[in-house]
Amino acid sequence: MARRNPTTQETTGLTKDWFSRLGTSLIYPYNAETARAIQRMARGTVSSIYNRCAGTMREALGWGLGDAHNWTALPSRGYKQRPAEAQAQPGDIVVWPYTYGRRGSQHIGIAVGTDAGTRLLSNLSGHLGLSRLLPGYRAYYK
């Protein structure tokens, strides 16, 4: 269950919720299209099958664009891509189109704020959780 910090909402448009399954609080835009997806992923109410990160995103958001690399088509859904030098912000959909990690694979997730900085909430190798943001991503916001 999440605990909401209403003070954060009033001042910045962000909310800070505690998710016991992750053992941490997440910061994200409470009125963004990705807010409910973040909550569902953080609570573990979506599937997390190995090598199916895009399927987890589709389930969490209620819509999808195919494999992770296909999500670079997010502008067709009204999303804008942040400039390459810009950091991902909480609530952004983050896509690695064949640029994830040493092996150059594809991956997708959602950026969230934590007390330790911005992290990735995703299905990584069948584990639904947080990891650091690796280089090579494209961040999309609405």
CB atoms within 10 A of CB 108: 29
pLDDT of residue 3: 52
- Say what percent of the chain tops pLDDT 90: 87
Strands (E) across 24-101 are located at 24-29, 80-81, 93-100
Cα separation values, 81 from 8, 53, 59, Å: 26, 20, 22
Structure-model confidence comparison of residues 102 and 119, the more confident one: 119
Q: Structure tokens of 115? A: 């007390």
pLDDT of residue 102: 87
- Does residue 1 carry a pLDDT above 90? no
Report the candidate in 44, 30, 18, 36 with the shortest Cα–Cα distance to residue 122.
Answer: 44
Per-residue pLDDT reduced to its tens digit, 47-87: 999 999 999 999 999 999 999 999 999 999 999 999 988 99
Domain ranges for the chain = 2-141
